[in-house]
Amino acid sequence: MEKRKIIIDVDTGHDDAIAIMMAMLCKDEFDILGIATVNGNVCLDYTTENTLRVVEFMGGGVPVYRGCEYPLVACMYGKRPTLPKKDKPGEKTHGWLLDELPKATIAPESQDAVTWYVDTLMAAEDESITLVPVGPLTNLAHVFQIEPRTVKKIKEVICMGGGYKYGNTNPLSEYNIWVDPEAAEIVMRAGIKKFTWVPLDACYASYMTKDDVQRIRDIGNRVADAAADIISFIWSHPKFIGKDVNSIVFDALCISYMLDSSVLKTIVPAHCTVDNGGGIADGQTMFDIFNGRIGGEAPNCYVALDSDREKFLDIVCEVMSKAKEAGV
């Protein structure tokens, strides 16, 4: 089987870490060309450090590129007063510095992520590279504005972001898109041949319980142990201590989908636009699943409205069990 060439774009917190681990364990399935970081969950320094920690823990060999530190316009004019995320040296932001892993001793590449994207895509064959953005879409928006011809090099974009029924930042907006809605709209207008959204609707359906995490830990290798620690982060977070909550490993669902597409359910064609008007719907991904039948535009993406929780857990466990065989 031919390996799928992929680029992962991350704002690495805990769920991104699991996605990277899974991708790096699937050596027969994926050729990871590189990982780009972006400001999102935490500041760019931290998302990059977290990414380097994961890559080094997994044995290295995958280049990491620093991406955009600022959203396109979302932090201008007070529109997003909390952005970009900035942190004091040594300060742990939202508990999302990956203390579950050793500090990185490797460094990011000297070339910035956007320039690397353009160079890599322009050197590739048409429709040969799959992009897996699981953070804000700032890097990709810059790429498509700098060099629109990169779009034809893309086989598929599989994006964790957005929501059909609801949001998690305001009532209508999912965080990755809320951070940089202008970037998301640019990406949706770029003309990508196949764009698959893995939104909150699908991610929330594949929650993990403490028993599920114990199943991962019982695999009994260092990667599974670390993954279990990382996924368990939510239960030690001050915001959730003592509350009956599950862990949502959002970004890992994108990797699982590439391994077994049936993990996503109710995948429908839709036309997606992104609200960036500054009102209550600011950052909302508006999916028209009626495909023009009521005056809308033709589909420009697919959106998964559900997922198979048991299959997702099976995939995660199967991948984590590869660690010893992979020599990690």
298, 271 Cβ separation under 8 angstroms: yes
Rounded to whole angstroms, the Cα distance separating 171 from 241 reads: 23
313, amino acid identity: L
Rounded to whole angstroms, the Cα distance separating 192 from 179 reads: 21
Distant-in-sequence, close-in-space partners of 140: CB < 8 Å, separation ≥ 6: 9, 117, 131, 133, 157, 183, 187
Pair type for strands 301-307 and 285-288: unpaired
Helices (H), ranges, the chain: 14-25, 44-57, 113-122, 138-146, 175-179, 181-188, 200-205, 210-217, 222-231, 233-236, 252-259, 309-320, 323-326
Distant-in-sequence, close-in-space partners of 326: CB < 8 Å, separation ≥ 6: 25, 27, 59
315, 18 Cβ separation under 8 angstroms: no
- Total Cβ atoms within 10 A of residue 149: 11
Structure tokens at 263: 């993990």
Active site residue: 11, 180, 212, 229, which one? 11
Element (H, E) at 10: strand 4-10
144, amino acid identity: F
Catalytic residue status for 225:
no
Identify the DSSP state of 248: -
- Total Cβ atoms within 10 A of residue 230: 24
Element (H, E) at 269: strand 264-274
Question: Which residues are part of the catalytic machinery?
Answer: 11
